[in-house]
A and B are shown apart, each in its own frame.
Chain A
Amino acid sequence: MTVPGTERSHAPDLSRVLSAFSSRAEEPPGPIQLLTPEGTLVHHPDDTPGYDPLRLRAFYRDMVMARSIDTEATALQRQGELGLWPPLAGQEAAQIGSAHALRADDYAFPSYREHGVAWCRGVDPVDVVRLYRGVTNGGWDPREKNFHLYTLVVGSHALHATGYAMGLAKRGSGAAAIAYFGDGATSEGDVAEAFTFAAVHDAPVVFFCQNNQWAISEPVERQLRGPLYRRAAGFGFPGVQVDGNDVLAVHAVTEAALEHARTGNGPFFIEASTYRMGAHTTSDDPTRYRRAAELDEWRAKDPIDRVRTHLAEAGHATQEFFDDVATEGAELALRIRRQVRTMPDPDRTEVFGHVYADGHPLVDEERAQFAAYQASFADQEVK
């Protein structure tokens, strides 16, 4: 670690760092980090991959927006407007850093907490909130955003991302797929099978695991013994661990991993070490299973604070910039609140909508019965 504005020390060519990291037999010194929790660059700015004040301000803005969406949605759930909300608080750098590394033609497969990635893919947060209000089981056009629908069955979509990537390679598209999942998900058979398929097909897919240390009440030690990122080596592809609360490092690593995949080198695994600061979902009470001290430890590593500190101390952002971003976040929250409060319920016959692409006589019959049954109440009301 060095002090800001320090002399040029060693020049970390990221791809060299990554390959050295993934082939090390012994334990690595720790996750890849470029910006410390204190807001200090680990290397000289010129030697920090992807370092650019303009881009760092964009990361900052999107992390603040993600937190604003999250805070508002959590409040709306508490007020009874949503059925459920899985908060992303604490995971902003992992999501914003990785999503910024994606190109428009890359395709992302989220689990259920990737509200920050959704934001970066241009999905209206109101559409994400719509899902958790219980209005729809989808919410957006996946192909318009190259952002698949949320998958609630843990781990399932790792295979979909792999298959999608196999298709990208077959078509010679030069794009990559990315699958987002948690530490708990790595225990599911589907995820192991995804690793296998991706490896033997050299599929251009990046497995982006947000190790937020918990799967509901189970700490990561209940899922595996030994470092998570090392699992990839057993399947025959590289895996690295990155400080998931360091948006610069996450971005640089994901960019390198995507490039690795796009250029025909097969899959890549990223373990982003982060922390779920909130409850698993609004139905959960984490005080039942984890220590407050652990929360304090991670609060000191907040992903947004360190960027703010750095931008301010390096003179890359003015107070006016921070104020503008805060205002924008508040306006976004207000828009979400207004639109959720006035969101209409779906039409009742939506139950029968789109069950089959080519129609089905039973669905038609039941829809007609349902409509007649509903109409019988309408008659009664008229009488």
Chain B
Amino acid sequence: MSTESMTLARALNQSLRKALEDDPQVLVMGEDVGRLGGVFRVTEGLQKDFSEERVMDSPLAESGIVGTAIGLALNGYRPVVEIQFDGFVFPAYDQIVTQLAKVHARSRGMLTMPVVIRIPYGGGIGAVEHHSDSPEALFAHVAGLRVVSPSNAADAYWMLQQAIRSDDPVIFFEPKRRYWDTAEVDRAVPPVDLHRADVVRRGTDVTLVAYGPMVKVCLEAAEAAAEEGRSLEVIDLRSVSPVDFDTVQASVERTRRLVVVHEAPVFFGAGAEIAARITTRCFYHLEAPVLRVGGYHAPYPPARLEEEYLPGLDRVLDAVDRSLGY
């Protein structure tokens, strides 16, 4: 039996373990990833089993982590680096945007950058400042980077495998408040494409598009709506760059209504791009403007206010009502 029940964090751990076993060029590096096994224990046990040569505790320097990952990649390795929290990726932002994203294009395809940057992201765990942000749009805006985010343990396992095998840099956003959620992981089934969206619940009245931590919220919203006789379709986008517009389009052509949900601020967020493209593609099918639910144009608030800030079930259902009101 290849199916096993595990947490999302454990699935990532197993996926890294598999990658280290399969390919001697794979390296894991980051702050506290070795002896401690990461602050979320995602790399637990890996240094013990694969040596300090392959699972490295790096100095406390994010620009250094990503910059040296670029050098290692130039020398044939496939580094999988961990940034400890979303808010601490910015010292590395220069390396990611000006170097990592552009090496392939500048070398006219002669050089590849098989680097994965794992980032626990998002709120909902009552954390202090800089530990709850959702900066995916800042990376999706940069050509040359692939940006993905699993919502469940099975996707976490497979998407990380695929990200590590990709010859492009992948920014891998891990929904930290879902680390402890359990799901069945089947390690035998061949996975779907890394960038394909997944219709996780069929429905007929309104399409909800989400990724990462908000997929669960949307599924709960769909469940609540069903009790009131409303049928919501839920799409787990899985990939923010590229976006699987075909899957979204096919759904919207049936439901004629779309609500995009993410934790990140709405202003210039992923939802804006999806709204614009789907409006263009589905103009004559739409019964309502594409609505967006997400964070406000304000810094992520202190923990005692995050419940008000984070889009929850009620705000999703409110948007569904508004969509149906047109």
Contact = CB atoms under 8 A, between A and B. Distances in A.
B254 to A, nearest CB: 29
Contacts of A189: 61, 63-64, 91
Interface string B285-314: 000000000001111011111101100001
Contact of A351 (B39, B126, B296): B296
A293 to B, nearest CB: 17
A217 B304 contact: no
Contact of A217 (B32, B87, B301, B306): B32
Interface residues of A, number: 44
A154 B60 CA distance: 8
Contacts of A362: 267, 297
Interface centre among B34, B59, B90, B128, by most chain A C-beta atoms within 10 angstroms, is: B128
User: Which of A185, A217, A288 has its CB near the most chain B CB atoms (within 10 A)?
Assistant: A217
Nearest to A218: B57
Interface string A343-377: 00110101110010000101100100010010001
A288 B34 CA distance: 11
Given A153-B130, A217-B35, A348-B305, A222 B57 contact: yes
A7 B302 CA distance: 58
Nearest to A130: B302
Contact of B60 (A132, A133, A184): A184
A351 B298 CA distance: 7
Interface in A251-265: none
A345 B267 CA distance: 27
Given A187-B61, A348-B305, A373-B318, A289 B36 contact: yes
A131 B37 CA distance: 28
Given A187-B64, A216-B39, A363 B297 contact: yes
Given A132-B128, A134-B304, A370 B31 contact: no
A289 to B, nearest CB: 5
A131 B318 CA distance: 32
Given A187-B64, A189-B91, A362-B297, A223 B128 contact: no
Nearest to A132: B128
Q: How large is the interface on B (under 10, 10 to 19, 20 to 34, 35 or more residues)?
A: 35 or more
Contacts of A94: none
A334 interface: no
B60 A215 contact: yes
A284 B298 CA distance: 30
B88 interface: yes
B129 interface: yes
B298 A223 contact: no
Nearest to A150: B129
A352 B59 contact: no
A154 B36 CA distance: 19
B36 A223 contact: no
A355 B315 CA distance: 22
A137 interface: yes
A83 interface: yes
Contacts of B61: 187-189
A283 B305 CA distance: 21
B127 A83 contact: yes
A319 B63 CA distance: 54
Contacts of A309: none
B41 to A, nearest CB: 10
Interface in B37-88: 37, 39, 57-61, 63-64, 87-88
Contact of B57 (A132, A153, A217): A217
A47 interface: no
12 contacts: A134-B126, A134-B302, A152-B130, A184-B59, A215-B31, A216-B31, A217-B35, A288-B35, A289-B36, A355-B298, A366-B298, A377-B314
Interface of A: 83-84, 131-137, 152-155, 184-185, 187-190, 215-218, 222-224, 283-284, 288-289, 345-346, 348, 350-352, 355, 360, 362-363, 366, 370, 373, 377
Given A137-B129, A355-B297, 11 more contacts: A83-B128, A83-B303, A184-B59, A188-B91, A284-B39, A345-B304, A346-B302, A348-B308, A350-B301, A362-B297, A370-B296
